[in-house]
Copies of this chain bind each other. A is one copy, B any other.
């Protein structure tokens, strides 16, 4: 794969990485059904982590906690040293800074896209950040070029195919230039070609030291991108890979 090649060019420093995402004994329950039980996890800057586990083992929930959509009911979550909880997130500018630094690509691209054209969609984040229109235009055209969706710029996101939608969803997050990318089931429903492209793109993100947190059921694709695995709930039989076990 070409991403190994890129990695050689931009070899990340093995040492000196700081912990960006720190979960400490974190618990979360929907109503009264516990979804995360005493989860402790630390992800350093530039790491690629793959979450694996059965349906309902809490992968999506964990990603939402990391993005600041759900809050720990016990234990704590720190992002880059700052405590993230219901109280700190009430500070609008802190919340917005977190949302800018942590990008989330939903499993269902359909629900993630809410503007009337691809161009507006990709420009939404940068405009929110108050960048000048020149800068916004530059980012939009760069993101469209990187994701090869230049020819779709004036189309409505709904009329696109599954793979195209996924690209647009990634471009929307990319244009905000976050430090962390969270992907929920990025490979589901994509054809072989799109999967290969996405793997390659993830490699490029790694090459510029972006942190990746990916939830997936696809072991063989996961193998190609993960620095290490996080197994959630009961996962057995894959103990030959570098992994930690949480939420048992």
Contacts and interface: CB of A to CB of B under 8 A. Distances in A.
Interface of A: 53-57, 107, 161-163, 185, 188-195, 217, 219-220
23 contacts: A53-B191, A54-B191, A54-B192, A54-B193, A54-B194, A55-B161, A55-B162, A55-B163, A55-B189, A55-B190, A55-B191, A55-B194, A56-B161, A57-B191, A107-B189, A188-B188, A188-B189, A190-B217, A191-B217, A192-B217, A192-B219, A195-B217, A220-B220
A241 B195 CA distance: 21
Given A185-B189, A188-B189, 20 more contacts: A53-B191, A54-B191, A54-B192, A54-B193, A54-B194, A55-B161, A55-B162, A55-B163, A55-B189, A55-B190, A55-B191, A55-B194, A56-B161, A57-B191, A188-B188, A190-B217, A191-B217, A192-B219, A195-B217, A220-B220
A54 B163 CA distance: 10
Main secondary structure of the interface of A (DSSP, over half): loop
* Stoichiometry (number of copies): 2
Contacts of A190: 55, 217
A67 B107 CA distance: 28
Contacts of A195: 217
A175 to B, nearest CB: 24
A188 B162 CA distance: 13
Contacts of A55: 161-163, 189-191, 194
Nearest to A219: B192
A163 to B, nearest CB: 5
A85 to B, nearest CB: 28
A219 to B, nearest CB: 7
A193 to B, nearest CB: 6
A222 B161 CA distance: 23
Contacts of A194: 54-55
